[in-house]
Chain A
């Protein structure tokens, strides 16, 4: 029964709860058991809050018994990336520098999860301060890909994607600055959505790059993402950059798309995001998926976004610039780690800051702080940060022009399937190239989804299909994503994750 529960989608669990076939306590317990059984190998979680989750589950059951249900997902548990604050639970952002810090407040996303009645299972692993594409940069050890434990689960949100892929959670929250929701989704065979910038509150999201960060759903199906997106999305007065407009009807769009009918939908294939540099198996699955859409009635055109070739360079100027400033607050003065320098008597505040930052930040974080500090320095600002902002404008124009020709744009999510742990650790540029197809959406603030397109022939690992829509038109992601999901699962005879190897369960 309990393993059966963990295999169900969130929508199915919600239906079962509504039908009185199960309880939130049963579901939550089943997931906690699964975490206990497999997370020793996967290491998706940094912190599991069994007590809190079960208490929330009991409350959900009591509410339901009393006839008051807070949301479609009331009682369905969720995991949260360790970059969002949860009052009373440790928040580390995968960094030693925040070890032991317990925030006194809930992120808005977390507050909305609580209001909607979702028990929170715990905090998931991530690259330190969301800097990475493999979760290897977590100060607390890497997360392993459930498809092959020797491989990376993507990053920075590898923990959330692996938790969902390993059936340790039905739903998870991720954050996406350059692809940190979508690329892990691609390499773990799961679904991940980066909403329109401003569509989900960033209040309580520990910022890497404020103008690029966006929290979003990590799930096993498109419909589950839509359900979760509707819970966490919408205007928040505590985030000045959040959009004061109602969300489009996302769940309805997902249900509509699930029919598989694509007639009347114009799909633009982005010329610049494909071809050389993309693994053959990834390209093959992508091409087949496009063909399926054509067969389902979509009108497919090729669109060109010439400025996208500069996206990675612009991203690696803007993101470190903002990050270098954001991370200045970690100075050992008020919270988190404090390291006293060796052999210094009566160290000054500056010496303590230096020693703490040296010991508390990992190499990738230091690399980006140095990059960003340099890019913002007087005399370099115009050439680096200023130019990057211009590229950003050009990319937005490319998107605007492309959306004249197509309702949605598509590409492979990531150029490769999951690589081996350690393989790219010493080659930052190779690591950065993982995000080449996902970064343009962050720079322009448009929404994107990644869903599984199948397994690559050469390694039998999942590949991802990315769909991008105009800002505020997140519903199109769900309409088209759900259609493609129906077409593909019909072909596969079931969800892709059903083909993943069984993980060894240790009895609790």
Chain B
């Protein structure tokens, strides 16, 4: 796919001087119910293709849907956590369009009667609070997954295509915001913070695994620009499948630059769907979105309306976990983080990881240190979200425990993470396989220190003269000889002992 190298971009700062961005975010969340939305098939990720299917989710003639009550409950809990109204009566509707990975050639969704509507949430960016109004959260089913075999990897030009219907019928909740205005230059960060917070909230509710890399949370970003001071919204584009926190931020930034340049040059923004390219960080034009798109919605005649009792709604409201803001305040107090430390943790999308690392036994300071420095650097180098690194909070806690036990030092710990991230196994397996344990054998250490003193007589003299700071050079020599596998603290003690 050509990524139109001719696209002119306006610098972000310049674009923000002239234009005011308006965003709308549509997030699809796959629920983690045991069975699908309208049949009893299991929903486990990664099964052999077409093994989790039945007449209903394959859309065989005669098959009929039955609503998964657990999915309705999850949808209501999500709605309540987003401060939404819960419909007293609502229906499913058919969204009609042809696509080979959609078994019935209509998607059973909700149209003008969503289960939850008119909510809000607040996100924080750099200590500033932004309110995001929620238009609706509705229930629908996922489609199957097409695999286009051929050089292009897309449906056009593929030699053939395969379809896996295991995903067809998995319950989805689509959460749609109202237009988000007044974020200015913070727009990309607000978008990212909103999705990050939604992920936290969904995990807290326990309704989804929210693995963005597995597609269980998918984001479409609507964006338009209007000249600063203008009331009316500009023409928007919808960037589809922005499937990482990092990409949410980057795609907003990119579209602001692209649309800014376009408008500045006297052009017009085309109302269209755009594709996000993770690798190159650009969006390209997809199909034009216009009146031609007519889904011929009508109420699903095979299902009866859903009318959740108010008692049920109140029962669910009463059992909600604490809201994100309170949750964060409590954690900050428990962990003893400064405001800045907390903000950095949240901003890096590391709150949950830190929380889980602490739960796995690490101290708050250690958990924050590993995720915000070492892991953040690695994620950045690889261009992925922190949460998508193949290392778990339990791994991080275990590595810190090894450090605390004196089995490894910080330098070795980084090598342990190299191994874990390279898929070599658990931290303990990596330590064993790579032989990374710290040498604390007194005899070996003592001999190495002696050799270092002998080889650096002038440094040794300085230490003898009381310049203890010079010990660093000798420690370095010992560590070098021991290939880093020495307990640096003990080495220092030995040097001082021997030279005083």
Contacts and interface: CB of A to CB of B under 8 A. Distances in A.
Nearest to B40: A238
A328 B301 contact: no
B58 interface: yes
A84 B60 CA distance: 12
B106 A105 contact: no
Contacts of B65: 240
Contacts of B67: 240
Contact of B55 (A105, A210, A333): A105
A322 B62 contact: no
A334 B58 contact: yes
Interface string A296-326: 0000000000000000000000000110110
Given A91-B61, A203-B63, A377-B296, A104 B55 contact: yes
Nearest to B58: A334
B206 interface: no
Interface in B65-80: 65-67
Given A349-B161, A376-B298, A207 B62 contact: yes
B298 A333 contact: no
B94 A325 contact: yes
Interface string A328-339: 110101110000
Given A204-B62, A207-B62, A331 B98 contact: yes
Interface of A: 84-85, 91, 93, 98, 101, 103-105, 107, 202-207, 209-211, 237-241, 321-322, 324-325, 328-329, 331, 333-335, 348-350, 353, 373, 376-378, 381, 385
20 contacts: A85-B61, A105-B55, A105-B60, A202-B64, A240-B303, A241-B302, A241-B303, A322-B301, A324-B96, A328-B104, A329-B61, A331-B105, A333-B100, A334-B58, A373-B296, A376-B298, A377-B294, A377-B296, A378-B291, A378-B296
B91 to A, nearest CB: 12
A329 B105 contact: yes
Given A325-B96, A331-B98, A373-B296, A240 B64 contact: yes
B163 interface: yes
- From B60, B61, B62, B297, name the one whose CB has the most chain A CB atoms within 10 angstroms: B61
A91 B62 CA distance: 10
A241 B65 CA distance: 10
B331 interface: no
B100 A98 contact: no
B155 interface: yes
Contacts of A101: 61
Interface of B: 55, 58-67, 94, 96, 98, 100, 103-106, 155-156, 161, 163, 291, 294, 296-298, 301-304
Contacts of A238: 64, 66
A239 B64 CA distance: 6
B37 to A, nearest CB: 13
Contacts of A324: 96, 296
- From B60, B291, B296, name the one whose CB has the most chain A CB atoms within 10 angstroms: B296
A328 B105 contact: yes
Contacts of B59: 329, 334
A321 B298 contact: yes
Contacts of A203: 62-64
Interface residues of B: mostly helix, strand, loop or mixed?
loop
- The 9 A-B residue pairs whose C-beta atoms are closest, nearest first, are A328-B105, A210-B301, A376-B296, A211-B301, A206-B61, A204-B62, A85-B62, A206-B62, A329-B104
Nearest to A327: B105
B301 A84 contact: no
B62 A335 contact: no
B66 A237 contact: yes
B383 to A, nearest CB: 33
Contact of A328 (B58, B98, B161, B294): B98
Contacts of A211: 301
B62 A205 contact: yes
Given A210-B302, A373-B296, A378-B296, A328 B106 contact: yes
B302 A325 contact: no
A349 B156 CA distance: 10
Given A202-B302, A329-B61, 8 more contacts: A91-B61, A104-B60, A105-B55, A240-B303, A328-B105, A333-B100, A349-B161, A376-B96
A321 B294 CA distance: 14
Contacts of B155: 348-349
Contacts, number: 102
B450 to A, nearest CB: 77
A93 B60 CA distance: 13
Nearest to A83: B62
A333 B301 contact: no
A103 B66 contact: no
Contact of B298 (A93, A237, A325, A335): A325
A294 to B, nearest CB: 40
A5 to B, nearest CB: 32
Contacts of A239: 64, 302
A76 to B, nearest CB: 25
Nearest to B304: A240
Contacts of A353: 98
- From B55, B161, B297, name the one whose CB has the most chain A CB atoms within 10 angstroms: B55
B36 to A, nearest CB: 14
A91 B163 CA distance: 24
Given A240-B302, A328-B106, A377-B294, A333 B163 contact: yes
A348 B155 CA distance: 9
A210 to B, nearest CB: 4
Nearest to B146: A349
Contacts of B66: 237-238, 240
Contacts of B106: 325, 328
- From A101, A107, A237, A329, name the one whose CB has the most chain B CB atoms within 10 angstroms: A329
A204 B58 CA distance: 13
Contacts of A378: 291, 294, 296
A241 B302 CA distance: 6
A140 to B, nearest CB: 17
A276 B157 CA distance: 62
Contacts of B105: 328-329, 331
A35 B155 CA distance: 50
A350 B104 CA distance: 15
B305 to A, nearest CB: 10
A85 B96 CA distance: 24
- From A203, A321, A350, name the one whose CB has the most chain B CB atoms within 10 angstroms: A203
Nearest to A210: B301
B98 A325 contact: no
Contacts of B61: 85, 91, 93, 98, 101, 103, 206, 329
A347 B155 CA distance: 12
Contacts of B302: 202, 207, 210, 239-241
A331 B101 CA distance: 11
A103 B96 contact: no
A204 B61 CA distance: 7
Contacts of B103: 329, 334
B68 to A, nearest CB: 12
A378 B64 CA distance: 26
Contacts of A84: 62
B304 A335 contact: no
Contacts of A240: 64-67, 302-304
A328 B95 CA distance: 12
Nearest to A333: B100
Nearest to B39: A238
A182 B156 CA distance: 50
A93 B100 CA distance: 23
- From A93, A333, A377, A378, name the one whose CB has the most chain B CB atoms within 10 angstroms: A333
A333 B60 CA distance: 11
Nearest to B95: A325
A107 B63 CA distance: 8
Contacts of B161: 349
- From B59, B62, B67, B291, name the one whose CB has the most chain A CB atoms within 10 angstroms: B62
A163 to B, nearest CB: 21
Contact of B62 (A107, A237, A325): A107
